[in-house]
Amino acid sequence: MRFYTEFSKSNKDSYTWNRSLPPSRSMFEAGDLALYFGYASEYKAIKLKNPHLNFDVAMMPQVGPTATKLTFGRMYGVGVVSASKNQAGAFYAGTCLGF
């Protein structure tokens, strides 16, 4: 973690980032950032934003050799209130959100 935080310390030779810069995903989409830590589910949206980018998705770097790989995900759920007058319509609308 120290390695990544060094880039935001203005007194270091490695200083390259501050809060005035655009979000990292925007910089990556513009081709101005070499490495972006995000979700694999963002792949299609990034490709749509800049189809000329040549990139792929990989596992997060791991700390030392270990049998258990650590990662992080994001999950969404759709719920419909049982008192809903149109449960089928509510469920359909919820699933059309694209999550």
Output the pTM of the full model: 0.63
Residue 54 has pLDDT above 90, yes or no: yes
Please tell me the predicted confidence (pLDDT) of residue 61.
80
Please tell me the predicted confidence (pLDDT) of residue 14.
83
Please give the C-alpha separations between residue 83 and each of 76, 87, 88, 90, in angstroms, as whole numbers.
Answer: 22, 8, 12, 11
Residue 62 has pLDDT above 90, yes or no: no
Report the candidate in 2, 62, 53, 63 with the shortest Cα–Cα distance to residue 25: 53
The residue to which tokens 């990989």 are assigned: 58
Please tell me the predicted confidence (pLDDT) of residue 12.
84
DSSP assignment letter at 67: S
> Over the chain, what is the mean pLDDT?
86
pLDDT in tens, 4-17: 788 888 888 888 87
All residues at 6 or more sequence positions from 5 whose CB lies less than 8 Å from its CB, including other chains: none
